[in-house]
Amino acid sequence: MNGRYNMVLSGVGGQGLMLLSNVIGTACAQEGLPVITGEQHGLSQRSGSISVHLRMGEGTYGPLVPPGDADVMIAMEATEALRYIEFLRDDGYIIMNTRLMHHPLETMRHVREDAATEPYFSLDEVRKRVRSVTPNVLEVDALHLAEAAGNARAENVVLLGAACGLPGFPLKKETVKDVIGGVVPEKTIDANMKAFDAGDGACCDAFG
């Protein structure tokens, strides 16, 4: 590949973001592609918003993607795509899980304001706003695809499969799948491979 390829992964603490970044990092190592990531650990994991920055390619540079510089963003939860939107370059790709996880503070506000039947901040709203930055948004119902593949916990692998299907993505699908096969529990390998392919398929349908 030429130049640098920047990714931002976002989601909610506990969704398996670190596994995703480990898999991509290991796949880079196997392909001899320099990579550096900036991760969040500690307090931010407790059901809070988290992000991982991932940078591939030659050169000396830091662990953080500068604003407006990410080629692709993988959002494991839809509102978390919007939360880190400043990192995406114009016309960059977003792989966005359609899942919404409502924070207790938002729920509490509804209850306090006697608005229990009013809608939460919606997927439509997220969609409208992120599409003002880029038309290249792939929405993936990752939970549904992961369940169909046989493992509800493989949402992250579905989304990774989708990212690997993007035009210009610097890693080979086979390498990434090999790495996944090596890190997930043995009895879930088959389901994880199916989950990967489901994500890849969804991406190829959209951008292929």
Partner 1 sequence: MLANEAIARAVVESDVKVAAFYPGSPTSEILDTVSMFSGEFKDLTMEVSANEKVAFETAVGASLAGVRSFTSMKSVGLNVASDAFFSVGYTGVRGGMVLLVADDPHAHSSQSEQDGRFYAYPAHVPMLEPSTAQEAYEMTKWGFELSEKYSTLVLVRTTTRVNHQSAIVSVGEIKRSPFHRASWKDVGAHYYTLAATARRLKGEALERLSHIREEFEQSAFNIIEAGEGEVGIITSGVSYLYVREALETMDSRPHVLKLATTHPLPSDLIGTFLKDKRRIVIVEELMPYLEREIRSIAHERRIDVEIRGKLSGDFPLVGEYNVPIVRAGIASSLDIASADSYADVMSRAESLKEGLPVRSPIFCPGCPHRGTFWAVQQALKETPYVLNNDIGCYSMFLLEPYEVTDSLLCMGASLGLSSGMQHVLNDKVVAFVGDSTFFHAAIPGLLSAVHNNHDLTLVILNNSVTAMTGQQPNPGSDFGAAPVTKLDIPSVVKGLGVPHVAEVSAFEPKDNVETFKEALSYRGVSVVISHGPCALYNDRLKRHAGTPIVPNEVSHDTCQNIYACIRGVHCPAIELDTATGKSTIRSELCNGCMVCAKMCPVSAIYSTRGDDT
Interacting residue ranges for partner 1, rule: CB under 8 A? 12-14, 21-22, 25, 28-29, 34-49, 60-64, 66-68, 79-80, 82-83, 85-86, 101-108, 110-111, 116-121, 129-130, 132-133, 143, 152
3-class DSSP state for residue 199? helix
Quote the least distance from Cβ 61 to partner 1, whole Å: 4
Quote the least distance from Cβ 156 to partner 1, whole Å: 13
Quote the least distance from Cβ 208 to partner 1, whole Å: 28
- Return the number of other C-beta atoms located less than 10 Å from residue 82's C-beta: 18
Name which of 45 and 201 has its Cβ closer to partner 1.
45
Would the CA dihedral through 97, 181, 195, 202 be positive or negative? Answer: positive
Residue owning tokens 């997930």: 184
Quote the least distance from Cβ 71 to partner 1, whole Å: 15
Name which of 81 and 203 has its Cβ closer to partner 1.
81
DSSP state of 154: G
Name which of 47 and 208 has its Cβ closer to partner 1.
47
3-state helix/strand/coil string of 25-76 = HHHHHHHCCCEEEECCCHHHHCCCEEEEEEEECCCCCCCCCCCCCEEEEEEC
Beta-bridged to residue 6, according to DSSP, are 55
Give the whole-angstrom CA distance, residue 103 versus residue 196.
28
Name which of 188 and 201 has its Cβ closer to partner 1.
188
Give the whole-angstrom CA distance, residue 1 versus residue 142.
29
Quote the least distance from Cβ 95 to partner 1, whole Å: 18
Q: Which helix (H) or strand (E) holds 66?
A: none
Name which of 188 and 206 has its Cβ closer to partner 1.
188
